[in-house]
Amino acid sequence: MPVLLTTIAFLFLAITPIIGYLSQKSAPKWPYRLLVLVLLVGSFYAFKSAHGIEHAVFYCLFLITVPAYVWIYINSTRKPVKPIKRPSPYRSTASIWYKLLMILLAGPLALAMAIVMATGVTHLLPLLTLNRLVVMIMLMPLLWGLIAVWLTATTHLSRTGLILISISGLSVWGLQ
């Protein structure tokens, strides 16, 4: 029985890129996309029934990416459509002062917010002090990168104000 369920799971997985390719040829795309989703979920449950939840999680994380790579290959071999040339609504080049401001925002301000957020998250976890420190050291660079990208993704300064208010609020909360 596990061999049959595993075979069904792999067949479901192998059919998904073909159905995705067929969805490009038809006008209503949502039935094909729904069918691909149902096949992926059915493949996961068939593999779970055959081998247990531990192997099914591995299957879900690693083997389901194979049809994704096949799908990327199929899309890369298609004939590209020439884009229509339109004037861009954004400015072509940013000034040196704007770039300098973005570097300053992405550096110390994002680092301060990442440290405060990592400290706040680790204090909510029921861990020993040494384990909290390790988790905080591992979490802080990830948060720093995310916040830096988020801060520099727009030209508006509302995100900067939100970060400054958040740092102030979390610092006051930490002092109490």
> 159 to each of 11, 64, 147, 155, how far by Cα in Å?
47, 36, 10, 9
Give, in degrees to the nearest 5, the angle at Cα 116 between 114 and 120: 115
Q: Tell me: the pLDDT tens digits for 87-99?
A: 666 655 667 777 7
Residues 6+ apart with CB under 8 A from 159: 150, 151, 153
Model-wide pTM > 0.85: no
Q: Give the residue extent of every domain in the chain.
A: 2-76, 96-175
pLDDT of 104-157, one tens digit each? Answer: 777 888 888 888 888 888 888 888 888 888 888 888 888 888 888 877 777 666
- pLDDT score at 163: 74
